[in-house]
Amino acid sequence: MVSATVTGAPYETDPVYQMAVRQLKDVAEILGLPDEVVEVLRHPERLLQVKIPVRLESGKTVVFIGWRSQHNSALGPYKGGVRYHPNVSVGEVVALSMWMTWKNSLSQLPFGGGKGGVKVDPSQLSQRELEELSRKYFAAISRIVGEDIDIPAPDVYTNPQTMAWFFDEYSKMVGYPAWGVVTAKPYQIGGLKVRIISTGYGVALVAREAAKKVLNGLEGKTVAVQGFGNVGRYAALYLSEWGAKVVAVSDSKGGIYNSNGLDVKKVMEVKDKTRSVINYKDAKRITNEELLELGVDILVPAAIENVITEKNADKVKAKIISEGANGPVTPEADEILARKGAIAIPDILANAGGVSMSWIEWCHNRMGCWITEEEALKKLDKKMTDNFKLVYEEWQRKYSDKPMRIAAYAIAVERVVNAMKLRGWI
């Protein structure tokens, strides 16, 4: 007799993957989904591992390992970023592709979920080595991507230049300019200038909408932001421009705090010039752990996963947590925060601004039309605001005694399951 359960997959022991499955099973129980449907949903439809030999400036050839996980295509082509990081694992990539399925579903985008990663420290590579790595990675996955198949985008330590290399390599292979094969490209080759700000903008926007519900608005409220890459910096920038007071930010080297508020634009300049916010003068140094426990109104974890756990959730004082990173709050911490009355706006809602703007760019490329940056940002604002309203109302109506994540996942997973039923997959 053949078991209905797949076992022994290389990603199953990864803690990030196990966290993603735990979240899926929690909402599946609430929705009454049978075990066999959960079994289908917890595994990717396709998982590709590739080797990437790169000749270093020293003349030595080093082999890097990369992956592309295509989780679910019931709602459309796979969509999700590619990250370069020394700690990337196959389990993390699979988990992130699953989260992308839910994120795209919740945002009502015509995409399924995908994710890619290369196990590499890009800071140790020259620009030429990085270009060789990028081109060879994309060539290696080229048979399973395409404008209507799988559309990658940037993620951790990748950027519009990486996408330009991806776009060019793929276009050479297919013999035509494949404008829609990746998104978040430089604007000179079909991208949108506002794409780089869109994820952080969305994180700030949903925090603003939540503040209207529980803090009587954003004006004068205090904010701490962990992580000062593209997501964290633009979340901080827009929250400050909309009237909040950003008192603390951090990056991988540490954090800074000033109870009177930070000049976010100056912090951005210091970060760009010195590669760390800790060199900003008008603030005291704090650790990343201390930042999470500050007495602020709004906390934006925009660095890495699993930073708020059952060990420190009780010490988190913020009333609103807007998840800029993927998976920064563990399921156990989610429960603790909910019991305390804090709102943790889940990542599949809070940081969906990037993929939503990527959808706008993709449509723009596919139709060959022209759109202004103002029009693109207006579309993003409406989509994110509508999404927050939908999830908040569903949460209050059905799941108010549970974390907001349950409402978001219930909406997203049910849409995917319904599409699978309609297509005869289950």
As annotated, the active-site residues are 115
Q: How is residue 166 written in tokens?
A: 């991806």
Q: How far apart are CA 421 and CA 368, in angstroms?
A: 33
Spatial CA neighbour of 21 closest among 91, 89, 85, 75 = 91
Half-sphere exposure of 230 (CA within 13 A, CB side): 18
β-bridge mates for residue 322, sequence order: 345
The residue behind tokens 């080595």 is 129
Q: Which are the contacts of 190, defined by CB distance < 8 A and separation ≥ 6?
A: 167, 179, 361, 364, 365
The angle that helices 373-398 and 195-214 make with each other, rounded to 10 degrees, is 40
Q: Radius of gyration over alpha carbons of the chain, in Å?
A: 21
Dihedral sign, Cα of residue 70, residue 71, residue 74, residue 75: negative
